[in-house]
Amino acid sequence: MAKRKTVFVCQECGYESPRWMGKCPGCQQWNALVEEIIPSKASRQSVGSQFGSASSGPEKITEISSENQPRVTTKMKEFNRVLGGGIVPGSLVLIGGDPGIGKSTLLLQISAQLAEKEVSVLYVSGEESTQQTKLRADRLDVKAEDLYVLAETNLFEISTHIEKLKPSFVVIDSIQTMFKEEVTSAPGSVTQVRECTSELMKIAKTSGIPIFIVGHVTKEGAIAGPRMLEHMVDAVLYFEGERHHTYRILRGVKNRFGSTNEMGIFEMKELGLQEVLNPSEIFLEERSQGTAGSTVVASMEGTRPVLVEIQALISPSSFGNPRRMATGVDANRVPLLMAVLEKRVGLMLQNQDAYIKVAGGVKLDEPAIDLAIAISIASSFRDQAPKPHDIYIGEVGLTGEIRRVSRIEQRVQEAAKLGFKRVICSENNLEGWTAPKSIQVIGVKTVHEALKIAMDS
């Protein structure tokens, strides 16, 4: 009998080693390498060809049909927006998020909406029994006849049911509970997650069935399992939010069929998740006007402009090295902007603690928020409130100049819709478009000039 070949696989990053090591060379984690048996060549071939078809060989790109298949839309416009306009046939979508954030609730609601269109949907639960899934469905008032529930973790059994039922959509909850009998490692291991995802990808591509996969996240917030998992799927969506707050954010970080920075806002209620069609009002509803250190910026989240409040608190430091803390923005951006204000405007900030926060739990990472952060810092330092009906948009350079940003027209229109009176932006953004009559657009060249306009009482 031939000796079985084994390999040591890191359960954090997927690094493979022929021998055991205490520390993984790939991710530097201790005691993460686990011994796994390498499947034989015969078993890999038999399993790999289960859903595959004979290769037709290379084709000329000019002779390949490029007819676009229509996307399938749900009743949730926010969900459709994040996917780029709807569900693409044959796509493999990964949805990750913290425990209890609402991933299963969201997919059960989406499954019910799709089943109401008289198409069959198979919801596979590896964490709950069919009775437990039915209890959640009753709470969400799900009564779709074409929604089928399967409590199974064996991927061979799941694929057999998919062949028999031939559903139009499949939901796998979750990929960490699935396993293949040919792979000797435990469910949730790097090898099992990789092999199960590869098999599901083969089913989706060969049958044209869209498959949604729920993925657990690590304590650092990344999808649990090998990094290869995110490269294999067509779209990666993160479901974010605080468990003690009702609002949830569905953010697309990868999408082969649409924008990669789209964001959808939902509110968790007793009957499930409900979409928020105007998130700007939600983020600004608790804003205290006339307070020093508070400004509003129009940020682009994918193709949508969102108005968000930025708050700053500047206070004298009692430490040798002043503290610089930021929530919702890049922490490295705060000391950079403070250095610009100190050098170009003359504000003595080197002995001041700085705390910056984006209200509402949103994370902003575009350069257009620089001017709003700078105005907030200066406002809090001077203890002088900026005008409450102003919007600040612009990138701040190291020489103090205000640079142009993209999609200024959409940002200004969103500000005008919510009743703001003035927009302060780069002078270079004023060309080639016409602002609404209800709002005044002021172009500035430097951050010093912007501060004079913002603080002018």
Q: What's the CA gap between 31 and 140, in Å, rounded?
A: 42
Q: Please compute the mean of the pLDDT values over residues 238-243 and round it to a whole number.
A: 80
pLDDT recorded at residue 100: 85
Q: What is the mean pLDDT of the chain?
A: 88
pLDDT recorded at residue 52: 46
pLDDT recorded at residue 247: 84
Residue 15 or residue 294, greater confidence: 294
Tokens 């869209």 appear where?
A: 210
pLDDT recorded at residue 49: 45
Q: Please compute the mean of the pLDDT values over residues 61-89 and round it to a whole number.
A: 87
Which CATH number describes the domain made up of 72-277? 3.40.50.300
Does 282-455 carry CATH code 3.30.230.10?
Answer: yes
Residue 41 or residue 73, greater confidence: 73
> 175-218 pLDDT, tens per residue?
999 999 888 778 888 888 888 999 999 999 999 999 999 998 87
pLDDT recorded at residue 40: 61
Tokens 């995110």 appear where?
A: 230
pLDDT recorded at residue 175: 92
> 321-371 pLDDT, tens per residue?
899 999 999 999 999 999 999 999 999 999 999 999 998 878 898 999 999
| SS3 assignment for the chain | CCCCCEEEEECCCCCEECCCCCECCCCCCECCEEEEECCCHHHHHHHHCCCCCCCCCCCCHHHCCCCCCCCECCCCHHHHHHCCCCECCCCEEEEEECCCCCHHHHHHHHHHHHHCCCCCEEEEECCCCHHHHHHHHHHCCCCCCCEEEEECCEHHHHHHHHHHHCCCEEEEECHHHCECCCCCCCCCCHHHHHHHHHHHHHHHHHHCCCEEEEECECCCCCECCCCHHHHHCCEEEEEECCCCCCEEEEEEEEECCCCCCCEEEEEEECCEEEECCCHHHHHHCCCCCCCCCEEEEEEEECCEEEEEEEEEEEEECCCCCCCEEEECCCCCHHHHHHHHHHHHHCCCCCCEEEEEEECCCCCCCCHHHHHHHHHHHHHHHHCCCCCCCEEECCEECCCCEEECCCCHHHHHHHHHHCCCCEEEEEHHHHCCCCCCCCCEEEEECEHHHHHHHHHCC
Of 12-16, 32-36, 225-229, 419-423, give the range with the top mean pLDDT: 419-423
Q: What's the CA gap between 357 and 240, in Å, rounded?
A: 17
pLDDT recorded at residue 446: 96
Is the four-CA dihedral 329, 335, 336, 342 of positive or negative sign? positive
- Give ∠ CA 422-428-433 in degrees, rounded to 5: 65
Are 159 and 195 in contact by the 8 Å Cβ rule? The answer is no
pLDDT recorded at residue 47: 41
pTM for the structure as a whole = 0.78
pLDDT recorded at residue 45: 47
Q: Please compute the mean of the pLDDT values over residues 74-91 and round it to a whole number.
A: 92
pLDDT-above-70 percentage for the chain: 92
The answer to whether residue 54 scores a pLDDT higher than 60 is no
> 364-405 pLDDT, tens per residue?
989 999 999 999 999 999 999 999 899 999 999 999 999 999
> 89-111 pLDDT, tens per residue?
999 999 998 888 899 999 999 99
Range from 3-7, 117-121, 122-126 carrying the lowest mean pLDDT: 3-7
